[in-house]
Amino acid sequence: MTQEEVDYFRRVLESRRADILRALTRVEQEGRSQETDCPKDPGDLSVASLSKEMLFHHSSQHRMLLRNIEEAMQRIDSGDFGDCISCGEQITLKRLQAMPFTQYCRHCQERIERESVAPARPLHRESA
């Protein structure tokens, strides 16, 4: 990978990082504003609870993506960016353009996903 390509991905990652940090700030502000609103009606309590749950879910997703971006930036600094952390092969530019924070080449990612899906087994077997 050329230095120009690495610099391009650094800028993309920095931009995404800034976007995520802004989104996290908004989610935290929404969460705080919901804490001050104290609904008394059971229906309102239910909606508020669901809303808090959704905010927590969004916050968790943003934090995971932020962690992946920061790890990718560390790989840029160490000179390992664009190399699959599993097999060491170069990750295609097309894949990096779609997901600049990816750690794996397509082949290794597919293998990991296949291995993480366990086949369904019956809980118990009836005797005949």
Q: What is the DSSP-derived secondary structure letter of residue 41?
A: S
Separation between Cα atoms, residue 105 and residue 86, nearest integer Å: 8
Q: Which of 72, 37, 36, 35 is nearest to 56 (CA)?
A: 35
Whole-model pTM? 0.76
The domains located in the chain, with CATH, are 3-81 (1.20.120.910)
Task: Give me the phi and psi of 63, to 5 degrees please.
Answer: -65, -40
pLDDT at 79 over 60: yes
Which of 102, 57, 36, 110 is CA-nearest to residue 75? 102
Summarize the confidence of residues 8-29 as an average pLDDT: 94
Q: Report pLDDT for 1.
A: 87
**Tens-place pLDDT, residues 25-72:** 988 888 777 666 666 677 766 777 777 788 888 889 999 999 999 999
